[in-house]
Chains A and B, each alone.
Chain A
């Protein structure tokens, strides 16, 4: 029996479908796709055919490389205009308190202060939140975490704005804190929100858990705890807003979904959506941390009130305390396996600390649940999960989105089970993998090709794995006895869905336009957050149009110029926006042929495109794109819209997914048993991201993901005591640096995704997920100690070694 407590779905999709902007449009749902396109993609995407491509799979230099290096590309924090004012936010003094009164009079009198705004100045609902709107733009009568915004100052300079913050008097009445998520579950706990402290809960059963465990030869039970983690992107949240004389509000800012930002601004401030233009093509890193609203509504509010251009740029400290983080989670897992290595039963209990507001806590919990079995078949399952409110900062979207936490626990379990039944850890995984057609997890179906078996197989054949005993021996020397260095080799695997999952509108759209000079402009509403997707998308268009990438002009997220193409999250951009671009380009080529046929006087079906020209098959009659452009009275425009396939059955909002990427990593590390220091020496990554559109981008994602995973496992932690953040700078929040980066080898397997552009899937999140559990498994291999609490600092290692020594 399956019980489902469904989410209160208040997610407001900005548009059910991107409205046409003119030109011809091709739109594909999965059903249409299956009928018309699948076979050709499948056959063409075979590795042997890759040589036939001109731009796909090639190491094309990123289209934004040069302007980013020479500084001509402007990030949101680089934007300044004449006459602009600075906005600064007064944050809460207490992690939980009532606001009795706010007195802004002294601040308003300070020379240089333009305006001081509070909740009273807001006409709309004064709330935001992607999933439900429970977070105030400016707090009214209560603050729930130290990052809560209480007042907003606009001033001629940043310094005056800061000074003004000190002059705002807020009369608080501190309230008792709710800082223990277990406490939040109790009936009699302090309630942070009207409806209680539970953001979301999920309970599923599948099969018969009791008889499942009864049939197990080995049962392993453990509790894993994971810390709060910061995205630590290079550019802290920033933007610039202005209002023109017709009342059009333009906000240029960081973000991950310009169209939803428009909706959130309009709703919070009660300002008409059509009068808002968001421009946010380039963001200096996000990793999910800019998915939720950060500066956008504050910028809009200040610009509308002052009618002056205004800039807001969070300090690093402000970023740390006010923005979302990776959820601290406690996961209890009890897993049963037969001595032949068949997983038979799995019981999972999840408690996720979401902090003060909902943001994406519910959907993150869904993904913890979706991935709690790893990419393995387990017939008997029971899962119970809760996401709760506390006064501990705020947590939301972060690369991996719950799958990271789920796999940390599950991939540890897999190694423990493998050891207990005396099986190679990769063989145990390979024995239980999900394949196409299988029913897995909470009852989902794998309807697409899934490459985890091939990823595991390639990892098993890698020389670092086959030769691991020798590599381990070589590294374990140095001093005498337990004073020396111990080498360990660990492995972990993972999978993750591409796209938002069932129940949420999930489409992408691209527009192409022919320019007078024969070049093509590509309009795409997703965001370049550093991942390189604008380059990958350009390559896809270049391949179909047979036009060099430098002849394609890219126009990124701008709600008045580009179509809504969905979020830049959830490992979906190259897959969905790439496919929309492929459709637009095919459409565009048809239109070009149609126009060319009038000039060369041959039927369109006899024509083909080559190097920016349309020619007939004999190659004798040629007309260039430029000639076509000059023959036209109206610009040639083509649109392509792609709908991500969805499963038939919905379990909860965003659950389940249909298209899955996977990744296996092998980690080699040394533990200094004298000091507890860990040095990661080498990481092998075998992602399956479908067809690789650009190997440089896949390697870049993989390397960055691995270093991020190392930070999660070994270094990073937001320390919160009684609701206050203790490390709010990059000198105390410890990230791995170039000195910690190991040798990394990324060797992708390319299992084509039939609905993806040229067979591409995606790569953004699976690259980071296996690293932390692989490190835990390697630590166990090195020193025989199983760590279940992140991050594993030298302090913890020394303590554990000491305890182990005392036991012996």
Chain B
């Protein structure tokens, strides 16, 4: 077996110190579900590794004063099963359920998924519409940036080499808010998304406001759908409104054709999933 220089600090401060000293020469791992595959397939030489999986201080889900805070090391399985997330960020739990296999979900962390900056990451569209903020920490300080400003392209982010993504937080969903995450893969589970749609809005009766929509797998990074959101703002939900919103979101989707799907299907499905999500939510909605 190939040996890789690996650091496994027990304290966050120690991890940040190693990062500040090594900078580009080191790659951060937590669940390591991506890097292990890449190394085994010899597609990537990771150089040195900083294994942060012992930093138990980064393993938490809590709600304080209307804000849900998720530690970087929280796994998809923990998110999927968390009563707080199920209540205060339900669509994130829906997305975490879809990710990978049970084995991947038990190891893979939410921060790892976000930091990878993959346009197909299932947890990112829900985090976008929830208005998540990422906390990036380095030995010289801490900064908080909205998740929408984090990824700049596939695998590329604004994070500096000496920074660590330590926390993801978002305003807890309130009882008058509706949300959903819908996605399509090449099969029901164990597949990478071909297209994913996250939706959140306030809803009074059937009247929508403060609408937020994010689309996965239809652009080099997860994108929002501002024109669709603007169209829906102040509208009462009906099947006709949903159909019109679907037409708009299809034009905001910027998909490409690859081995998993086609441009036209993906764009059209951005609309279809919006319709499907609405139907699901309003079927059980008390209004």
Contact = CB atoms under 8 A, between A and B. Distances in A.
Contacts of B268: 798
A737 B191 CA distance: 10
B1 A159 contact: yes
A479 interface: yes
Contacts of A736: 187
A737 B189 contact: yes
Contacts of A715: 186-187
Contacts of B259: 719, 726-727, 732
B184 A795 contact: no
Contacts of A799: 264-265
A731 B189 CA distance: 11
Contacts of B189: 737, 739
B261 A795 contact: yes
A736 B268 CA distance: 24
A674 interface: yes
B188 A740 contact: yes
A739 B188 contact: yes
Interface stretch (B49-57, B214-222, B269-277): B269-277
A795 B190 contact: no
B275 A674 contact: yes
A798 B265 contact: yes
Contacts of B276: 674-675
A740 B275 contact: no
Interface string B245-274: 000000000000001111011001100110
A683 to B, nearest CB: 17
Contact of A677 (B1, B184, B191): B184
Nearest to A316: B41
Contacts of A480: 239
B239 A734 contact: no
B192 interface: yes
A162 interface: yes
A459 B275 CA distance: 39
A794 interface: yes
A483 interface: yes
B239 A795 contact: no
A732 B264 CA distance: 20
Contacts of A479: 279
Contact of A734 (B184, B191, B275, B279): B191
Interface string A655-696: 000000000000000000011110000000000000000000
Contacts of B190: 737, 739
A739 B268 CA distance: 25
Interface in A713-743: 715, 719, 726-727, 731-732, 734-737, 739-740
A675 B184 contact: yes
A734 B259 CA distance: 11
Given A480-B239, A731-B192, A732-B259, A794 B265 contact: yes
Contacts of B186: 715, 734
Contacts of B261: 795
Nearest to A734: B186
Interface string A143-185: 0000000000000000100100000000000000000000000
B102 to A, nearest CB: 12
Contacts of A731: 191-192
Nearest to A157: B1
Contacts of B260: 732
A653 B261 CA distance: 42
Interface string B17-33: 00000000000000000
Contacts of A798: 265, 268-269
Contacts of A726: 259
Interface in A271-288: none
Contacts of B265: 676, 794-795, 798-799
Interface string B157-201: 000000000000000000000000000101111111000000000
Contact of B184 (A719, A732, A794): A794
B69 to A, nearest CB: 32
Contacts of A674: 272, 275-276
Contacts of B192: 731
B2 A734 contact: no
Which of A675, A677, A737 gathers most chain B CB within 10 Å? A675
A159 B4 CA distance: 13
A675 B182 CA distance: 11
Contacts of A483: 275
A675 B272 contact: yes
Contacts of B188: 737, 739-740
Which of B259, B264, B276 gathers most chain A CB within 10 Å? B259
Given A159-B1, A480-B239, A719-B259, A734 B187 contact: yes
B279 to A, nearest CB: 6
A737 B187 contact: yes
A795 B263 CA distance: 10
A656 B279 CA distance: 56
Contacts of A734: 186-187, 191
B262 A795 contact: yes
B205 to A, nearest CB: 21
A289 B276 CA distance: 41
Contacts of A159: 1-2
A480 B261 CA distance: 26
A227 to B, nearest CB: 14
Contacts of B262: 795
Which of A483, A676, A795, A798 gathers most chain B CB within 10 Å? A795
A37 B113 CA distance: 68
Which of B2, B41, B265 gathers most chain A CB within 10 Å? B265
Interface in A772-805: 794-795, 798-799
Contacts of A727: 259
Nearest to B268: A798
Contacts of A795: 261-262, 265
A719 B42 CA distance: 22
20 contacts: A480-B239, A675-B273, A675-B276, A676-B265, A727-B259, A731-B192, A732-B260, A734-B186, A737-B187, A737-B188, A737-B190, A739-B187, A739-B188, A739-B190, A740-B187, A740-B188, A794-B184, A795-B262, A798-B268, A798-B269
Interface of A: 159, 162, 317, 479-480, 483, 674-677, 715, 719, 726-727, 731-732, 734-737, 739-740, 794-795, 798-799
Q: Which 4 A-B pairs have the closest CB atoms?
A: A795-B265, A734-B186, A739-B188, A674-B272
Given A675-B184, A798-B269, 18 more contacts: A159-B1, A674-B275, A675-B272, A675-B273, A715-B186, A715-B187, A719-B259, A727-B259, A731-B192, A734-B187, A734-B191, A737-B189, A739-B188, A739-B189, A740-B188, A794-B265, A795-B265, A798-B268
Interface of B: 1-2, 41-42, 184, 186-192, 239, 259-262, 264-265, 268-269, 272-273, 275-276, 279
